[in-house]
Chains A and B, each alone.
Chain A
């Protein structure tokens, strides 16, 4: 493996790691290219974070992954965990902060929806040790259900939020967030976007701070266990904190090009730009390119919420037109409370959906500055190849078996690699983590209540998603008397986000042995009577088992049936190769009917044109041999070597 893959190979500053350097005295020793998420991990260690918890989710996953590596590499003492979900992660880290120690919780934007309950309440209780809530947004969206703006969640919770515009700035903002949090005893959100998380930038490495904060939880029931009467008091205190934070000069917007702006230049009408995050980086680069950096005042807001009222009033007094550039919702824009002179998403000046790509920002800037549009560049309409399950992915075999056992079935599914079961036509709904099971319940009762014949329902959920949010949904399904088949796609890892461990791994991140949770046992404990496990590579046996499960779900004395499709992810190199590679060949029986390509959709199977035998790409074929059973014409066979 490429040793510099996470930029961790050149730790010349390692000898300093044990010294009591404060963040300010950090010594610059070498430059290293860090991924935005790695930069955030470095920021946390530079600012003496003693606990970080997370649930994996693109684009946030690599923050905790990097911390785990750094902890091992530098023998650091801090508690790290892949928690079971974001709500739990939030509460675990928050308690560490209640005990006076610096903490962080890391998640993606939809993860914050799961953790919204503790977020809103923690804003009232406040914190003791610095508490940074890292929430990665995904404008686009590239790998998410929504392109929601977590800064609005901060606003809804009345919490300050910092919006970095580059990986290096994300690292610097961690320390700022930590200090701000501790100073005002308030959780602080750090909101990077995909283009920060997954950008790489060279930066000077700094040594990590000593994190020997002694836990000391001071009992204060009026605060930590506040009843509604005390909550009102806490709300007043929160409002006071926010007022002060808005005025803190370290976090106020600043006029970036004050020096360059020629005093004689007065664009008519008087205009300015207010930007935050990556949108600022694009605007700056484009204005420099267009030779306008010295012509239009640009204010950069490191903290889009809360904005100081005075800042807004000053700008409205100085300028006739104010353009707001931010991702992905109008958070700063709405704080301006002026719909005549303030331009942005609410006025249609900035598109109301989609990523603010640099070409979009250029077009917005040109429009606002009344310049001719940029010469058009034709962008191909097709997005190119769609993503697909990997060659040999056990999920593909399971989906094919489901299609066979549940023709014309109803297929609620869930969040993970297996969402790509869409390509095979075996995924009908994808809502949010765990919804496959609750939606299967809802669909069942929709038909049941209307006395209509229900299509056979077969829901699919991954192992990690089942642990995350599937268990309460399954208990509910059982006690509501629903009938369906649930297939738990158990590949023993969280594959989509980079193979983080699940609670079935039996080990903590430090390698300490803990109880290994068994999915069939959990399912039985939820009250399910029919639980069986099968290997999806045994395709025919899997189809038979699914038919049996379907019968149970439909039998008069039956109920919910759960099938665990168990086989490790092929891409997870931490798991031993669990299959014997059997090369597959095309026989003379293959007439190019295309059944395997359409119905099985393995990327290793290539069409060579109508009525032409297909081709197997040896570079992609995993040798799982499942397609041999899939072909109805004996057109594929295992090649016997020798």
Chain B
């Protein structure tokens, strides 16, 4: 089982990223259990999704602190607020303007360059996927994104790929 936390603020696409990951998981044969933030907390406050992926014969909706394998932080505040969910040897991928490790990326800058600041969530997801630490391959995410169709498909794919290409290739 892989346990993933997605954190950000309301309106950043935390739910979208979580759902894309979850539907990718189901498409490649896993079961999922997700927990989301709804209602008043969505109005500009910090929001968080818990995602469990695997062969879940038993699973509960929330991840315990210190148990998440992967952390996706869509907002610079996210790690400070929800980073405690990550296990000691877990990996956090964060959107921030301060580039201080190979796991951080200025996703908003990249998305803005693509002409779609709201696609920063997919830039970050692509970035995380290229690390090889997610339960799925980047192609699986692309395939799932393609299946949605719609007006935003092209820009969404571009954002995902821009994130993929931004991950440092010389390391790992």
Contacts and interface: CB of A to CB of B under 8 A. Distances in A.
Interface string B35-68: 1111111111110000000000011111111100
Given A4-B148, A285-B60, A385 B23 contact: no
A284 B60 contact: yes
Chain A contact residues: helix, strand, loop or mixed: loop
B157 to A, nearest CB: 14
A54 B40 CA distance: 19
Contacts of B84: 377-380
B26 A387 contact: no
A200 B22 contact: yes
A31 interface: yes
A420 interface: yes
B35 A199 contact: yes
Contact of A281 (B23, B59, B65): B59
A496 interface: yes
Contacts of B63: 358
B10 interface: yes
A286 B40 CA distance: 30
A1 B150 contact: yes
Contacts of A358: 60, 62-64
B155 interface: no
B36 A200 contact: yes
Contact of B60 (A278, A383, A384): A278
B22 to A, nearest CB: 6
Nearest to A283: B60
A200 B77 contact: no
A59 B36 CA distance: 11
A417 interface: yes
B46 A4 contact: no
Nearest to A355: B62
B39 A142 contact: yes
Contacts of B35: 195, 198-199
Contacts of B33: 166, 199-201
A4 B23 contact: yes
A380 B82 CA distance: 8
Contact of B38 (A198, A278, A384, A388): A198
B38 A2 contact: no
A357 B35 CA distance: 12
B149 to A, nearest CB: 7
9 contacts: A1-B150, A33-B23, A33-B26, A142-B37, A199-B61, A383-B46, A417-B43, A496-B39, A496-B40
Of all A-B residue pairs in the complex, the 8 with the closest CB atoms, nearest first, are A58-B39, A143-B39, A281-B60, A384-B46, A387-B45, A384-B81, A200-B34, A199-B61
